[in-house]
Amino acid sequence: MPHITEEPKLFWKPLPLIIGINSDCTRLGLVDITGVLNILEINSQGGSVLEFEKKECWALRWSEDHPQQLCFMEKSKLTTVSNVTVGPQISTEGYICNFDNLRVTYCYLDDIMVSPD
CA atoms in the 13 A half-sphere facing the CB of 43:
5
Contact 60, 72 (CB under 8 A): yes
The per-residue pLDDT for range 64-87, each reduced to its tens digit, is 999 999 999 999 999 999 998 999
DSSP 3-state helix, strand, coil percentages of the chain (rounded to 5)? 5, 55, 40
Model-level pTM? Answer: 0.83
Average confidence score pLDDT of the chain:
89
Cβ atoms of 87 and 78 within 8 Å: the answer is no
